[in-house]
Amino acid sequence: MTEAAAGGAPAGPTETEWAAAVAAVRDLPADARVLLICHVNPDGDALGSMLGFGLGLRRLGVRDLQATFPGPPEVPEPFRWMPGVDLLVPQDDAYRAPDLVICFDAASESRLGDLVDRLDTAGMSLVLDHHASNSGFGRISLVAPHAAATSVVALELLDRLGVTLDAEMATGLYVALTTDTGSFRFEATTPAVHEMAARLVATGIRPGDISRRIFDTRPFGAVRLFGEVLGRATLEPAAAAGHGLVWTYATRDDLVRHDQPAYVLEALIDSVRCTEEADVSCVVKQAGEAEWAVSLRSKGAVDVSAVAVALGGGGHRFAAGFTGRGALDELVGRIRAELATATLVAP
């Protein structure tokens, strides 16, 4: 297994779990229907891992293969060009009773939305994930909490299945790896991460082109939207047990006013987290009348996954999130209270 992000010690699934996962794929009949699912509001790791692995299954000869995610079937613009998007179907068209369902980058069943019933109707369920807060759902669970991205787990399974890596598969896996490491800037970036990236690049993919598409391309309307939302950012130096909190919010009216889809806000947290005076950064994005998608980031002093789990979500020590309900000021108050009472100082 890939080395852990901390200390270089092995982490993740046991050999028995790996063997069970390999058998679940290898023992499929020729006419088996396989459904791949990633989490709601998919990001680069969710989509990249799922599509890269899906192309590997196609290489193995799996013919009846679909990929999907809960919610509106709109792939965020930065990812629409990726190889394997032809595997995607709307959730309403997904196999009702697949022989095998494989879930990617979802820390809990709730992240599968209306597709969660496939865990019960499928002949077998397999989970690939890297969140420490993973709830352990699925018949076979391959969870590597110290892996930098779910694509690390996906590549390991492809290797164990004997799939020969090509540039199309590598593109999705690289997108996953580079997004979840912040283009190799975050703490999870280990020697093993760079070794994996080198292996993916060796297939012929173009890192510069991928990075421009993912990180450096944004509509002008989104630039104006970011400016407005950043202009209302609030700094609370005493919050998070004195480590500091910076937060802002975006409403659906903001999106309408700037004619932007909701997914453009996913990149906003990177502009907020650079605040020097705060360890914790938070972006609250309106998803419904009284529903908010919350992104949390830490520079290392605060374990934001503990806060997210306490509020019904999950994630990692440095990056986590949850869905909150109620008035904005009440929601921020709950976040502030959890940071004050449940903050864990990282070693």
In this model, does residue 313 exceed pLDDT 90?
no
pTM of the prediction?
Answer: 0.88
Lowest mean pLDDT, pick from 61-70, 163-172, 337-346:
337-346
What is the chain's mean pLDDT, rounded? 93
* pLDDT score of 316: 84
CA distance 327 to 113: 23
Length of the chain: 347
pLDDT average, residue stretch 276-288: 96
pLDDT average, residue stretch 239-261: 96
Position with higher pLDDT, 341 vs 195? 195
For residue 17, name the pLDDT band (cuts at 50, 70, 90): very high
Place of tokens 């509509």: 219
End-to-end alpha carbon distance in the chain:
24
Query: In this predicted structure, what is the pLDDT of residue 336?
Result: 96
Listed ranges 87-91, 264-268, 286-290; the one with the highest mean pLDDT: 87-91
What is the structure's pLDDT at 289?
92
Q: Where are the beta strands (DSSP E) in 64-203?
A: 64-68, 100-104, 124-129, 140-143
> What whole-number distance in Å separates Cα of residue 190 and Cα of residue 119?
34
Considering only residues 159 and 343, tell me which one the structure prediction assigns the higher pLDDT.
Answer: 159
Q: What's the pLDDT score for residue 247?
A: 98
Scan for tokens 């002093």, then name that residue: 301
The pLDDT, as a whole number, for residue 41 is: 87
Structure confidence at residue 2 (pLDDT): 36
How much is the average pLDDT of 290-299?
A: 94
List own/partner pairs for 180-186 with CB under 8 A and 24 or more apart.
180/43, 180/44, 180/45, 180/148, 180/149, 180/150, 180/151, 181/148, 181/149, 182/270, 183/211, 183/215, 186/148, 186/318, 186/319
In the block, tokens 């009348």 appear at 289
CB 335 within 8 A of CB 322: no
Residue spans of beta strands (DSSP E) within 69-168: 100-104, 124-129, 140-143
Residues 91 and 116: their CA atoms lie apart, in Å, by 11
Distances (CA, A) of 344 to 11, 96, 132, 317, 339: 22, 42, 15, 9, 9
Q: Using one digit for the tens of pLDDT, what is the confidence trace for 39-64?
A: 988 999 999 999 999 999 999 999 99
**SS3 (DSSP) at 103:** strand
